[in-house]
Amino acid sequence: MARKSTTQSKIVWTVIAWVVALVIFFPILYAVITSFKTEPEAIDGFSLIPSGTFENYITVQTQRDYFKPFTNSVILSIGSTILALIFAIPAAWAMAFAPTRRTKDILMWMLSTKMMPAVAVLLPIYILFRNFGLLDTRIGLTIMLTLINLPIVVWMLYTYFREIPGEILEAARMDGANLWKEIVYVLTPMAVPGIASTLLLNIILAWNEAFWTIQLSTTNAAPLTAFIASFSSPQGLFWAKLSAASTMAIAPILILGWFSQKQLVRGLTFGAVK
Amino acid sequence: MGSITLKNVQKHFGEAKVIPSVDLEITDGEFVVFVGPSGSGKSTLLRLIAGLEDVTGGTITIDGKDVTEAAPAARGLAMVFQSYALYPHMSVRKNIAFPLKMAKMEQSKIDKKVEDAARILNLSDYLERRPGQLSGGQRQRVAIGRAIVREPSAFLFDEPLSNLDAALRGTMRLEISDLHNQLKTTMIYVTHDQIEAMTMADKIVVLNRGNIEQVGSPMELYNTPRNLFVAGFIGSPRMNLIEGEYAQSKGAKTAGIRPEHMTLSKESGLWKGTVSVAEHLGADTFLHLDVDGIGKMTARASGEFGAHHGDTVYLTPDETRLHRFDDKGLRIAG
Ligand SMILES: Nc1ncnc2c1ncn2[C@@H]1O[C@H](COP(=O)(O)OP(=O)(O)O)[C@@H](O)[C@H]1O
Ligand SMILES: [Mg+2]
């Protein structure tokens, strides 16, 4: 009896999980389907069966160059992630291994910047970027993406680092490692799984970041998010082409996510299972 | 060389005065054991010497040089941690070589030293393994190997055997003593286990709440404990501490007699007791008794004595081995 009911509840939960996953995934699926429709088909009500045209992809590539924003996306997401790690590893080291009474407050304060709506600081940042000549530059956007993801990167690394026994770092110190060598030879290699998943997650976040990248770029530094947005204006709506552009924009990151999902899941649950 | 001097060393963690003030002299080549109950500040004192904690006050001198402010590596000491603290991502070879690599030694020299150390510690077959693939005893040896290759002026051990099972602990105890005899380097060894302290030390430092209760050789502490704390802590089973009429008749607040310093008889004696538990160890039997007019006592009998729960046993203390303490708990001489 008991076994039967657990089997039943397992089935129920599995079904619920699938439904939730489908609901979450459905918009993406529908964009992919729509990208294979003709424009009239796309506007013409709900349908899951496209006529299967590749025309949109060809148009998108000929009208606008896909590779430039693609390259920008790659540079911005990887560049900002590496930059963020360079700052975050020492910061997280300090918080995990040399904490003070204020460490928790600093972490909360850093994270609280993520709770504020980005639009609240749009104007000052826009003016700063304009005055420093950073508008529509890759450097400018890399800095911006680094800054907005830094709190999350620090927080994640901090939780991983705290799992590492302090005695091992002390042993390194006794063995003659200075702070730099301690971080390079001991801490970082031991935290590789955590750093890898932080890196992956941050690349995904940076790739998908659509507020600042769209606000602060026009053409030169515009990544794929801006590329998608450009299809919803100014010549009117082209849903099928927009869908094709979206599909092309999310495909690389989806593939990356798919291949690294084990690492991602393990990294994200690292602290929990220990 | 490895003589270490602590002068008025203090350590506070916020409000907590974990080490109120310690003065200590360690001479070159000595095997010194810090012993005391858990939380008595043994690790803190060791970490102050290592430089892993900063002192709140006082000075630490190694071989005449003031190292109070020096970085851990600059003090020329090596430490073996309770958790071994091996680098899990490095092979045994790389673990042992790490301090030499940090010292920028030539690779050919490093290889030779690592192999020498591995031979001494029976690790030659395991050099390419990761620490995770080793047993507890082997990990301990790697940690010791990593300490040896640096040729430090002193070794610091923080409860190095407490993660091992009893049999292995006995073996490793001998190995460490052996190592000390070979190297003749100063060793400071922290433990809460008074048997480790008694068996290994040239000099025991008894700590209690961050204060040194007594410093001396194992037999000095055993024969002339300076106060009640040391009397109760050193020796196994513990010294019997007797208050009241008997102690007063000896001119003391508390009288102490070790379990092995009483003669036992089934017919007659000074005190009459009833056996509550008899622990038969083979050669010895420890009798836990309820003694009329005194209370619980422990006595050591020979294995042949043959007493059991409920038996009546008479005890007579050997008065030449009696310890007397005043109302402050301090030893009364003579
Ligand atoms: N980093 C620290 N912060 C605050 N208190 C500490 C710290 N380290 C040790 N203590 C306190 O100091 C006392 C002595 O600790 P410790 O030296 O580890 O004792 P032992 O090694 O003898 O068991 C304990 O009460 C412990 O709680
Ligand atoms: Mg300790």
pLDDT-based confidence at residue A3 (cuts at 50, 70, 90) = low
Beta carbons of A221 and A138 less than 8 angstroms apart: yes
The predicted structure's pLDDT at residue A62: 82
Q: How far is the CA of B130 from the centre of ligand 2 (A)?
A: 27
CB within 8 Å: A168 and B89: no
The two tokens of residue A182 are 């301690």
Encoded amino acid at A93, one letter: W
DSSP string, B147-179: HHTT--SEEEEESTTTTS-HHHHHHHHHHHHHH
Q: Which atom of ligand 1 is nearest to the CA of B34?
A: 22
Q: What are phi and psi of B7, to 5 degrees?
A: -120, 115
Establish whether residue B16 lines the binding site of ligand 1, counting it when its CB lies within 6 angstroms of any ligand atom: yes
SS3 A177: coil
pLDDT-based confidence at residue A133 (cuts at 50, 70, 90) = very high
The predicted structure's pLDDT at residue A163: 87
Contacts of A168 in chain B (CB under 8 A): 85-88
Computed over every residue of chain A, the mean pLDDT equals 87
CB within 8 Å: B52 and A176: no
Enumerate domains of chain A plus CATH numbers.
65-230 (1.10.3720.10)
Find where tokens 């657990």 sit.
Answer: A6
Of B184, B11, B13, B1, the residue nearest B75 (C-alpha): B1
Instruction: For residues A171 and A157, give the distance between their C-alpha atoms in angstroms, rounded to a whole number.
Output: 21
Of B77, B85, B98, the CB nearest to A167: B85
Beta carbons of A154 and A88 less than 8 angstroms apart: yes
| Architecture of the structural domain at B4-231 | 3-Layer(aba) Sandwich (3.40)
Chain B: residue nearest A177 by CA? B102
Chain B: residue nearest A100 by CA? B14
A175 touches chain B (CB under 8 A): yes
Contacts of B94 in chain A (CB under 8 A): none
Q: Which CATH superfamily is domain B238-325 in?
A: Nucleic acid-binding proteins (2.40.50.140)
Establish whether residue B44 lines the binding site of ligand 1, counting it when its CB lies within 6 angstroms of any ligand atom: yes
What average pLDDT does range A220-228 have in this prediction? 87
Please provide the size of chain B in residues: 334
SS3 B5: strand
Find where tokens 């770029």 sit.
Answer: A217
Establish whether residue B13 lines the binding site of ligand 1, counting it when its CB lies within 6 angstroms of any ligand atom: yes
Measured CA distances, A132 to A121, A126, A127, B114 (Å)? 17, 10, 9, 56
pLDDT in tens, A177-223: 999 999 999 998 998 888 888 998 899 999 988 888 888 888 888 89
Beta carbons of B144 and B182 less than 8 angstroms apart: no
Look up the pTM and report it.
Answer: 0.82
Q: How far is the CA of B39 from the centre of ligand 1 (A)?
A: 6
Contacts of A189 in chain B (CB under 8 A): 89
Q: How far is the CA of B35 from the centre of ligand 2 (A)?
A: 10
Q: How far is the CA of A197 from the centre of ligand 1 (A)?
A: 35
Q: Would you call B7 exposed, middle or buried from its count of C-beta atoms within 10 A (0-12, 13-18, 19+)? A: middle
Beta carbons of B186 and B29 less than 8 angstroms apart: yes
Q: Where are chain B's structural domains?
A: 4-231, 238-325
What average pLDDT does range B13-19 have in this prediction? 94
Of B229, B243, B223, B85, the residue nearest B163 (C-alpha): B85
Evaluated on CA atoms B266, B267, B268, B271, the torsion sign reads positive
In our burial notation (b when 16+ CB lie closer than 10 A, e otherwise), range A90-123 reads ebbbbbbeeeeeeeeeebeebeeeeeeeeeeeee
pLDDT in tens, B241-269: 999 999 999 999 999 999 999 999 999 99
The predicted structure's pLDDT at residue B274: 96
Instruction: For residues B121 and B140, give the distance between their C-alpha atoms in angstroms, rounded to a whole number.
Output: 10
Q: Is the pLDDT of residue A271 over 70?
A: no
pLDDT-based confidence at residue A117 (cuts at 50, 70, 90) = confident
Chain B: residue nearest A171 by CA? B85
Q: Which residue, judged by its Cα, is nearest atom 2 of ligand 1?
A: B13
Most confident of A32-36, B54-58, B301-305: B54-58
Find where tokens 């920008």 sit.
Answer: A72
CB within 8 Å: B73 and A181: no
Ligand nearest B42 Cα, by number? 1
Of A168, A173, A186, the CB nearest to B73: A173
The two tokens of residue A38 are 């003709």
Of B2, B22, B26, B3, the residue nearest B11 (C-alpha): B22
Of B334 and B238, the one with more pLDDT: B238
Chain A: residue nearest B151 by CA? A175
